[in-house]
Chains A and B, each alone.
Chain A
Amino acid sequence: MSAPELVEDFFRHEYGRLVATLVRRVGVQHLAAVEDAVQGALLTALQSWPLRGRPKQPSAWLYTVASNALVGQLRQGRRRQELLDQRLPVASAVQAPPDITVLGSEMQDDLLRLLFVCCHESLPEQTQVVLALKALCGFSVKEIAQRLLVRQASVYKRLERARARLRDHRELDDLGPAQYEQRMPAVHRIIYAVFTEGYLSNHASQAIRSELCREALRLGRLLVQHPQGQIPETFALLALMHLHAARLGAREDGAGGLVLLQDQDRSRWDAHEIAEGLQWLQRSAEGDRFCRYHAEAGIAAEHCLAPSFEQTGWQRIVQCYELLERISPSALHTLNRAVAVAEWKGPQAGLQVLAGLEPPTWLQGSYMWSAVLADLHRRCGHEAKAARYRELALDAAPSPAVRALLRRRFAQTLCD
């Protein structure tokens, strides 16, 4: 008799749920012990389930095993502490195990709560992202390093520092409505960061990238289930993520190469994702707030709704980029606006947007900057300048896939 398959990401998501629930019970200062207990419970399951069969309620089973291990470990720690210094024993941190039948919705709340703990303003944003990927999404240090393109040692160091901070500042764990409201922008930012990491990375495989996008969507949906998360910014963020996710599959050819927007097979865009994104976009418009996620979702929606590249609402896209630049000034946004302006009013107008702009070094040295200039100059008939920028763009390409894309693009436009 073979057990039915576990749902996708079961272990990883159980990890997050268990860590969140146990952290709420014993306090975030014990995060390291909680994570050890959860990791141990999953390993025990791996050893026990194949032999004795999977329990009817795997989540509850894991919870009991992890909880028992944690209680044992904390008791041991406390005894050691009492022997070390003869202080009064601290009150028992762990109460009786909760009624397992109510675990479902409580666990959702616990996950969200831990997300807000991770977003404490004393932690640098990159650390918040790493902590969320570890504690909530159940990725290992190695997996996080692969996904964020950083060294394992640096992920490890960030986690260590974050845990130390959470251990020493118990007040970080006190979460009332005021803290939820205060940390909301940070929560939006890290969900956005996880999504962008998945959507835009030039390095990782498509499987890894779409996994990150799915995780960001999962956290976004979690947030929107909570009354305090139901605000226009969250709706706009969800709209943005769904509308981008709709095009995820069509962005890549079968061989791992990237496909330009104008060459994408629009019938491969996910209609279901587009519909969901548009619903959230509509909800995000209720109220009088307009944030960068609104602008970005608006741009994504224009692309998703356009029947073809040529028939795209470039004028509205330009307006969205102008709003975006106002809310969150960045030369990258200006560069994007130049591309949209060029489609709307012609390449000369596009170049005019960039005239006088002093891009930061990272952007000037990037393939995006050179590739856009190469394209605009070619379309204006400035052949020498175009050729120079083409070379710069190819030199700056961060990966073979991007370089291949640029070559294809340049070859194609030269034949036009």
Chain B
Amino acid sequence: MPAQSLFEKVWSSHIVAPETEDTPAILYVDLHLIHEVTSPQAFDLLRSQGLKVRRTDKSLATLDHSTPTLPFKTLEELEIVSEPAAAKQVRQMEQNCKDFGIELRGFSSRERGIVHVMSPELGASQPGQTIVCGDSHTSTHGAFGALAFGIGTTEVAHVLATQCLLQTKPRTLAVDVNGKLQHGVTAKDIILKIIGTIGVGGGTGHVLEYRGSAISALTMEERMTVCNMSIEAGARAGMIAPDDTTYQYMAGRPLAPQGASWDAAVKRWRTLPSDADARFDQRVSIDVSKLTPMVTFGTNPGMVIPIGDAVPRQNDPAFRKALDYMQVESGKPLLGTPVDVVFIGSCTNGRLSDLREAANVLRGRQVAKRVRLLVVPGSHEVKRQAEAEGLDEIVRAAGGEWREPGCSMCIAMNGDKVAPGQLAVSTSNRNFEGRQGKGARTVLASPITAAASAIKGAITDPRELMPLQ
């Protein structure tokens, strides 16, 4: 057999009908993640054609996007804390799951969370799987060596009805990341650096495989941060080969294989990494040994600089428009720019280690007077663990808000948003115009950069506030 990459192994083992000159491949889906925003029209399509959900056992549903992060005691209070359209959408999700026999991790579930936080912590996301969701950040699950990608609502209906998708085979791009990270530099800074290097369209048509010593050294939560933002480089998906770090993370999780089937699964998973001589359509190599914390200065995630650098100069109308929107100037550093809002959370950086790192910066300090700090755990499980460690108290004592799990200010369709003109340092994934609210200006950064900026009330290099190692 010719040498195969991780992607090729997963792809070829899920072919229901092969790609031909005239038709795309039919690809089987092992896990379909479903949320309230991109599924209602898909369920309606099934209804209109009298179709059932083919594999409810391969569907995992939750509420996250338009779901409020303000606490409410009884389910009837949803209509009080939510905007009417959002509440209606949440209610419709409850009804759709009931009608089609899908278990919903809804308000009464201890497991509810952002879909890309919840599925891995349940052990549902596994190496070698195909995983899809009507959400572009599905690339997150590639951290487990799964082929995971976002789909549109029509395709959500395809998967609900047939558990399959029509797909043309993507190309592959190996992203070799080597070097030891310096103190205060995180997985978020790595992925921002990668996107800045290959560009927001650099991955279009490709599945990325992140490899190299810097990737192997990452924890699973850090790998998820990296894979999460693959779509911000335009990639179809991003993957990391499974290894002992992967298996240690997964062992014992409720939906992971148990006992003898666990041993068999690990044996199978060990065959997944790319063969030594596997061919990639493209390669890029990045050394992160001198990487510093990264921050975005423009209106897409590729417009990113080392935190100590000045905003670059480019004589391009789109570039100037982005700088005008952000109210930043070429040649001037972002450091010291006043901050109005700091958001720590999202499917990119809403996991326990993210909140721990942020809390380490916040501990014993006060958020600057002008700043609103919002910390939103990615799931109830993250929230419980964080509270058991007292992280909620650190956030509150610093003057921050501690919320219920959800997508929150990352997408600003659930009540949490940044006001027009305000500058937010955000641990989320998109700094598009208006992404965090109409007229909102977003600077993407790591949880520690965000926390340090909250304390200082201005964009701050987190290494200023961290004890030396």
Partners in one complex: no
Residues of A within 8 A of B (CB): none
Residues of B within 8 A of A (CB): none
